[in-house]
Chains A and B, each alone.
Chain A
Amino acid sequence: MAATIIDPITTGLASGWQHIDANHLAEDQHFEADVVIVGTGAGGGTAAEILTDAGLSVIMIEAGPLKSSSDFDMEERTAYPDLYQQAAAMKTADKGIGIFQGRSVGGSTTVNWTTSIRTPQNALEFWAKEKSVAGLSSESLLPWFEKMEARLNISEWQFQPNQNNAALKEGCEKLGWEYTVIKRNVKGCWNSGYCGMGCPVNAKQSMLVTTIPSALEQGAKLISNAKVFDLKHKGDKVEGLSARAQSGTAATLTFSARHYILSAGAIHTPTILMRANTPDPHKLLGKTFLHPTLLSGSIFDKQIDGHSGAPQSIYSDEFVWRDGAAGEMGYKLEVPPIHPVLIASKTIGYGQSHAELMTHFNNLQVMIALVRDGYSAQSPGGQVRLTDSGFALDYSLEKPFWDTARRAFATMAELQFAAGASKVLPINDGVGMQLNWAQAKETIANMDIGLLKTIVASAHVMGGCAMGEDKTMSMINSEGQSHYFENLSVMDGSMFPTSLGANPQLSIYGIVARNATLLAERLKPQIQI
């Protein structure tokens, strides 16, 4: 990378930050702190800064490696193995949904597309009414969103959207549909389009370059490449954690603390609790939501260059909440960045037809529809379960989902033609290029849709350790405190009792900022004695 870009991580490490790469540990080691946080994504990073600010000693444990801008070379072949869970090849047990989730210091915030949306009021109201969540409303969360928006420089994107996003905007304008300019967590963004491979210029205000350096600067300790495999507990107390290095050593790392926070993400937080046989009398752990997402490609006569420019700058909520939160499943419309492997893999077919599609790479516009799940019996979400070697996620896509998918494909095709596409390609096996809206409408109404035929992806893993006051429907209270352990909190996307109907990072930042501050107030007086 260019010498002109200062890497805040290598600079910080040189200045004496406490970082241990567990892969380099020669022997077993024990660590102690006031608070041990498992995971360094949106939840763990936010909590780490707030707790160190409060004067508490903090250890952050991260299962992934510590990678920073010097490592980010804007190539998918480097980014996916380095920065994503299972090298970006994670799938549900039946292979029906491909899942993108971050796995390095900073978690998914290191690789997300910067879209920052406050928790939708519909979701908050539904949680209050149906999921026994208390004290979380748009009003009560406002100061926390404002705090984190200021901290992470979250503001409306001021530049013109790239052509990929502009198509979404123009289509909505033509059809009279709602659209919104996205707020992004960037500072001095170069508008290059490579957020998903780690920001090479440190403009994205991910946890990697904001809260984690701040915590390290104040004396927190970071341990990377350490995978927590056990949580010891007795009565209503967690007594310690054990971790082992990802590779290179057989050393075991043990941790004890006054308080433990699980921020390992919506799959791994419940997995840690399940493996430790913690109480779950109502079988609630691991209920997972994914925003299962459909894709629609289109070809424009003009150059789109979907690899270039802010990956997401426009969304449309026209179809998310149409029928109310508990009504028919809705979907949010966005666009993804268009990079060679991502697009080659998430399209259909092979040989001549695929090669022909790829020749239109720079004229390709892609729309995505993120389906809101978890709000009714029709969309119960998935279930994480333990396996001998790790975990599996069962997520059954049933008829109500496929009916919604068919509607979403039609919506995206209509939008793309309205925006000026010359051809539209629903990403569903057996369907060819559609030449006009009337043809697409007919094709989509009759196409063979279903598991493995339809490409379904997810970049938003949520739920698994739901919050609420009613123990029959929640594992933690509305402040993130475990119902079963007085010294355990959960602060990550697993706390959501349903999906959000919006990209999750700002919801995690805001709610965790509130909960970590409440926790700091609780823990602080004791250390001052």
Chain B
Amino acid sequence: MKRRTFLTGAFTGTAALALGVSLYTPEVTDSPDDTHRLLFSVLIPVFMDGALPDVPNYREAFLNRTIIAINQTISVLPTDQKQELEQLLTMLESRFGLLILTSSITPLMLRTPAELNDMLEQWRHHFLEMMQTAYIGLRELIVASYYACPEHWGRLHYSKPTFLDA
């Protein structure tokens, strides 16, 4: 049933700019950073390659921040969009879903960065709009959530004004 819904629905692609409430508020109670943690810990380094710091400790902290931000982004999306996105994420965590989406049952965490990159490139340029929306949905979700965090603005040489802090 899931496969059918997935294949016929125009899913995801919609998480673009939703950013979560605040990284520091404890209002998301069900351990948001644990949801899809493994999946995102594999995907974020591919999407954010070149932006994530190389130093292991910093890299880990940036990764954790982004996973929390992603889950908070998802939490503020309307129900329909949330369901579409959850459906995609669940498929990426199941062997059957992976087979449909990537023609391989190898879990994403066992694939090399180059293989993951190839997977995204195939989706990005796929003849099926459904696959392109999968790419765009993940891209916007991860990229928007990453740059929602002020801790990640260092490379941009940007910070918000401080004139109201007084």
Residues in A343-390 with C-beta less than 8 Å from chain B: 344-345, 350-356, 358-359, 361-362, 387, 389-390
Contacts of A192 in B (CB 8 A): 161, 163
Contacts of A93 in B (CB 8 A): 10
Contacts of B81 in A (CB 8 A): 86, 89
Docked-complex contact A194 and B161, CB < 8 angstroms: yes
Docked-complex contact A1 and B144, CB < 8 angstroms: no
Complex Cα distance, B160 from A210, in Å, reads: 27
B55 at the interface (CB under 8 A from A): no
B60 at the interface (CB under 8 A from A): no
Docked-complex contact A358 and B156, CB < 8 angstroms: yes
A91 at the interface (CB under 8 A from B): yes
Docked-complex contact A350 and B78, CB < 8 angstroms: no
Contacts of A430 in B (CB 8 A): 125
A78 at the interface (CB under 8 A from B): yes
Contacts A75-B150, A89-B14, A361-B158 given: A355-B124 contact, CB under 8 Å? Answer: no
Contact with A along B112-139 (1 / 0, CB 8 A): 0000010010001100010011001001
Contact with B along A64-107 (1 / 0, CB 8 A): 00000000001111101100101111110111001000000000
Given contacts A2-B165, A89-B17, A355-B50, 8 further A-B contacts (CB under 8 A): A74-B160, A80-B17, A95-B136, A345-B144, A351-B47, A354-B51, A361-B157, A362-B156
Which residue of the partner chain A has the closest CB to B153? A340
Contacts A190-B163, A351-B46 given: A452-B129 contact, CB under 8 Å? Answer: yes
Q: Is the interface of B mostly helix, strand, loop or mixed?
A: loop
Residues in B50-96 with C-beta less than 8 Å from chain A: 50-51, 69, 73, 76-81
Complex Cα distance, B165 from A2, in Å, reads: 6
B155 at the interface (CB under 8 A from A): yes
Task: Name B13's contact: one of A75, A86, A95, A390 (CB within 8 Å).
Answer: A95
Docked-complex contact B133 and A452, CB < 8 angstroms: yes
A514 at the interface (CB under 8 A from B): no
Task: Select the residue from B13, B69, B132, B143 with max chain A CB neighbours within 10 A.
Answer: B143
Task: Select the residue from A340, A354, A430 with max chain B CB neighbours within 10 A.
Answer: A340
Contacts of A352 in B (CB 8 A): 49-50
A342 at the interface (CB under 8 A from B): yes
Q: Which residues of B are interface residues toward A (Cβ below 8 A)? A: 10, 13-23, 46-51, 69, 73, 76-81, 117, 120, 124-125, 129, 132-133, 136, 139-140, 142-144, 146-150, 153, 155-158, 160-161, 163-166
Nearest CB on A from B124, distance (A): 7
Nearest CB on A from B21, distance (A): 6
Nearest CB on A from B43, distance (A): 10
* Pairs across A and B, CB under 8 Å, 14 listed: A2-B166, A81-B19, A86-B77, A89-B17, A89-B77, A94-B129, A345-B144, A350-B48, A351-B50, A358-B156, A389-B80, A390-B78, A451-B129, A452-B136
Docked-complex contact B20 and A81, CB < 8 angstroms: yes
Docked-complex contact A452 and B132, CB < 8 angstroms: yes
Complex Cα distance, B140 from A354, in Å, reads: 12
Docked-complex contact B148 and A77, CB < 8 angstroms: yes
Task: Name A77's contact: one of B15, B69, B125, B129 (CB within 8 Å).
Answer: B69
